Structure 1
Amino acid sequence: MQRDNDRIIEELQEEIDHYQLIFDYTYGATVVVDPDGYIIDINKPYLDFLDVSYGAIIGTHCTKILGDSRLHIVAQTGKAEMNQVQTINNQQVLARRIPVKQGGKVVAAVGQVIFEDIRQIASLARKYSLLESKVKHYEQELRHLRSTRYSFDSIVGESKPMHRIKKEALTATSNSFPVLITGESGTGKEIFAQAIHHESRRSVHPFIRINCAAIPRELMESELFGYEKGAFTGARNDGKPGKFEMAHRGTIFLDEIGELPLEMQPKLLRVLEEKEFERVGGTRVIRSDFRLIAATNRNLAQMVSEGSFRSDLYYRINVIHLHLPALRKRREDIPLLSRHLLGLIADKEGLHGVSLSPDAEELLSGYTWPGNVRELSNCLERAVASMAGSALTEDDLPFCMQQFSERKETLRHSSLKEALNDAEKNIISATLQEESFNKAKAARRLGIHRTLLYKKIDKYGISAKSA
């Protein structure tokens, strides 16, 4: 019998020791008082905080050793007090006091110091405030990202080529397959990209644009995939999310994808295939659900054959292909488009009653527009800036347009060879102007070798000033 009692006592002692261990390792400094406010238990963190022994404090009233404690009041009222500032040993701490009830009666009260020093609370408050301002900033950024400027209503044109391409683009809004938009500079590739996003089920999520030609080669990876703290010299202390991370559940638009460095292409291919990546300097795998829309004015198929663009990446992005027609291929849209752009310019400048005269409309419709819609918009802006009346006439159009009008008259009396030379000179000059006299880009646009372009520039006496 005695042996059984000893065993029971031993088991009870083990259980008590077990609970005491848990009590000692409970987060924060914890003390328990009886209904009259006398300390009946206290854990090790609280003893360390007070710098007293367990035996010296048990049976002491809480007000004698715990400063301005209100544990005895909580034990009397049965009402908890949460997150109260309390002074113990001339040090401010944050405490909470909770009554323990049994059968409707308060049998004890538990007090816990949540923070060792009130300064920690101030520090946390500052961190919280900083975090709150960051969240507000990112919410504003997100709202901006989610709001695309263009929809299908922004695409102006009633010609057959435009009806066809708009129909193809609308079909692309019902799925999430990659889209490749090709066409000359200034044909409106980003407008189509935004319109597709705007009409898709992803429209409530971000539209993230990145120009592959505008990012330095050494920063491309960190821009696309982000970086962790300390990933490289000059990196932000808190790291930075990449464009693919920001595009989660939305659309990422890679403009001028033909300029993507060859060494980045396999990394992009992996993200497109697996929808996951790691930040620069990190090991955590980040998953992102995005739709890819890419655009270029270059011939990617030719680049594949030349070895400057990976074939596997080309096939991955070229699922839905939209080729936008050049403005000269849809001349019947030029009057409508000119009036539309003129209206936008007038609204922006606060002008009223601005119109397009028949002679100006005829000249605009006959021009070749190597810079496409972008060049047309620029031409109209320049004309509005210098126009005298409310009707934009042929005389208000830029000098290059005036020259074009005069050349049309000259061509009527020229030989075929003269006409061809004149046309070639004009096309080269306009292309150089469109590409800011970058001869490498102009040669690619014209589909000729750079050496041949130099010869023709010399032949026709074309300079940056004349172009």
Structure 2
Amino acid sequence: MSDTLDYEALRERAYQTLFEQLADMCVGCITVDRNARVAWIDDKYKALLGLTGDVVGKPVEEAIPKSLMRRVVESGKPILLDIMETRDRNLVVTRLPLRSESGEVIGAIGFALYDRAEHLKPLFSKYQKLQEELVRTQHELAQERRAKYSFSQLLGVSESVREIKRMGRRAAQLDSTVLLLGETGTGKELLAQAVHAASPRADRPFVGLNVAAIPENLLEAEFFGVAPGAYTGADRRLREGKFQLANGGTLFLDEIGDMPLPLQAKLLRVLQEREVEPIGSNKVVRVDVRIIAATSRDLAAMVREKQFRADLYYRLNVVPITLPPLRARTEDIESIADSILDRLSLQQGLPPRELAPSAVNALRAYDWPGNVRELYNVLERVVAMTDDSTVTAEHVAAVLPPGADEAAEPVAPFVGVRPLSEVMMQTERVAIARALAEAGGVKAKAAKLLGISRASLYERMMNLGMVTNS
């Protein structure tokens, strides 16, 4: 019991000390009753305001014409920081309601913190700087979420490329869901961004999410966000999901075929209702998002095998566009390779390179299981390994997988020992490719065959250049 009394006494002393310190530091202090009549005003404040008579019991506006103490009494809400004009100066003031033990407003207290607003200049400067940094960061983030590619960057002269561009431009004028199909590395994300950039949503965000790259237990949070304090360790602020971030724009769902079945049902509901419910929240958030999905898997077959929801498949498969593999459009390889070499030269500050006819033939003879992404990787390795201004068939053969030149036109063999790190990377690449083939492209199954997690498999594929932009 004595401890309780000591705590109460300490609390009362804290209140008293706080008031005394504030009153001592301030240039003036005043209290009013429940009717906004002056109950007390200290001598410093009276002198500062030029008051000579007794103002106790009078409406506060008689002593301080522009006072807002009455508003505090009537609303019960504080005005923590304000600039109040008097006859010859501006005062920086704070006003707080006073309450009884039952919580009823019985008056208000006001402190004049400074007699010149100049004292707040450092605070205002810091606030303005923070605001400018926030605006700059928001602008940079908005730029990052804009589409980086257009149809002009979908290179090639083949009939299949012309048809893809035609269908893509048509899809851009609609607001229907688009489903991009094709092997990994064929340029599905490039096409998705091109569709967004040519659509009426072009000035709104383009947000991408690779379903295969996110652990299953985190996917729902990535999609729909997390309410403040939803679970232990969760942020105290709302963490927005990809649907909220893409609101008004386009959400690109890559590798949609790797989405777990339970989450498919929740995604279907969002597509139907146009609203999301963050984890740990009982409130729904309306969203206006255009969906572009992509997969390298046969969704129709997955539907037949009960691995993908039929209703979600029909919801996604409104405007399907199939991107052909690179081996099916070999006439495009030369223009794509030239563009890649130009980009690598600019990025690395190196002289421009050109392709010899023999190199073009070697590139066309290879079957490119990794498509355009693998072509980029091969040419990047060529640039890294030679200073020659002309890329020849010998350079290409030196970096292609072992045995790749068997189907190509005869070229001079590569002489010399390859670095151990390069051999190990190539071995890992072959092992992953075989596991994916064995698993029918299902990354979860391939990871299990390799004895690693799905996230680890995806990370290794990224490091090997087997996945970047689909």
- Conserved 8 A contact 1:226-1:239: yes
Q: 1:96 aligns with which of 81, 84, 90?
A: 84
Counterpart position of 1:185: 184
Question: Distance in 1 between the 2:377 and 2:111 partners?
Answer: 64
SS at match of 1:173: helix
Amino acid of the residue matched to residue 439 of structure 1?
A
What is the letter of the counterpart of residue 400 of structure 1?
L
Q: Which has the larger radius of gyration?
A: 1
Q: Distance in 1 between matches of 2:149 and 2:357?
A: 29
Task: Tell me, yes or no, if the aligned pair for 1:371 and 1:434 is still in contact at 8 Å.
Answer: no
Offset at residue 436 of structure 1 (A): 3.0
Amino acid at match of 1:213: A
Check conservation: 1:81, 1:98, Cα contact below 8 A.
no
Structure 1: gaps (5+ residues): 1-38, 84-91, 100-110, 411-429, 455-467
Supply the distance in 2 between the matched residues of 1:162 and 1:113 (Cα, whole angstroms). Answer: 68
Q: Structure 1 length normalisation: TM-score?
A: 0.67
Code of the aligned partner of 1:70: L
CA deviation string 1:224-280 (max 9, x = no partner): 111111112222121211100011110000000001111001110011111111111
- Written as runs of structure 1 = structure 2, the 5 A alignment for 1:95-114 is 96-97=84-85, 113-114=94-95
Aligned AA (1:444): G
> RMSD of the TM alignment (CA)?
4.1
Partners of 1:324 and 1:154 lie apart in 2 by 15
Q: In the comparison of the two structures, how many residue pairs are matched?
A: 361
> Deviation at 1:45?
8.3
Contact 1:71/1:97, CA 8 A, preserved across alignment: no
Q: Tell me, yes or no, if the aligned pair for 1:327 and 1:372 is still in contact at 8 Å.
A: yes
Structure 1 distance, partners of 2:174, 2:167, is: 12
Contact 1:150 1:191 (8 Å CA) reproduced: yes
Q: What SS class does the counterpart of residue 293 from structure 2 fall into?
A: strand
**CA spacing shift, 1:42–1:169, aligned 2, 3 Å:** same
CA contact (8 A) 2:93 2:111 kept: no
Q: Distance in 2 between matches of 1:93 and 1:278?
A: 37
Are 2:342 and 1:343 aligned?
Answer: yes
* C-alpha separation in 1, matches of 2:238 and 2:294: 29
Following TM superposition, the consecutive aligned residue runs of length 4 or more in structure 1 with deviations greater than 2 angstroms are 41-47, 62-76, 78-83, 92-99, 111-119, 124-140, 398-410, 430-438, 440-443
Once residues 361 and 81 of structure 1 are traced to their aligned partners in structure 2, the CA distance between those partners, rounded to angstroms, is: 83
Distance 1:304 1:339, change over 3 A: same
Residue 439 of structure 2 is matched in structure 1 by 443
1:396 and 2:384 are equivalent in the alignment: no
State the percentage of identical aligned residues.
37
Other-structure match for 1:459: none
Equivalent position SS for 1:292: strand
Q: Which residue of 1 aligns with 2:218?
A: 219
Deviation of residue 284 (structure 1)? 2.1
The change in CA–CA distance for 1:130 and 1:262 in structure 2 (over 3 A counts) is farther
1:374 lines up with 2:373 in the alignment:
yes
Alignment partners' CA distance in 2, 1:357 and 1:309? 47
Partners of 1:140 and 1:118 lie apart in 2 by: 41
Q: Label 1:134 to 1:65 Cα distance change in 2 as closer, same or farther (>3 A).
A: same
Structure 1 residue 265 corresponds to structure 2 residue 244? no
Ranges in structure 2 where 5+ consecutive residues have no aligned partner: 1-29, 53-59, 70-79, 97-109, 114-118, 411-425, 451-470
CA distance in 1, matches of 2:82, 2:46: 13
By how many angstroms is 1:347 displaced? 1.4
Checking the alignment, whether the CA contact within 8 Å between 2:342 and 2:352 is kept in structure 1 is no
Q: Secondary structure of the residue that 1:294 maps to in structure 2?
A: strand
What is the aligned counterpart of 2:34 among 44, 47, 53? Answer: 44
**Native 8 Å contact 1:211 1:255 kept in 2:** yes
Secondary structure, in 3 states, of the residue corresponding to 2:252? strand
Give 1:438 deviation, angstroms: 6.6
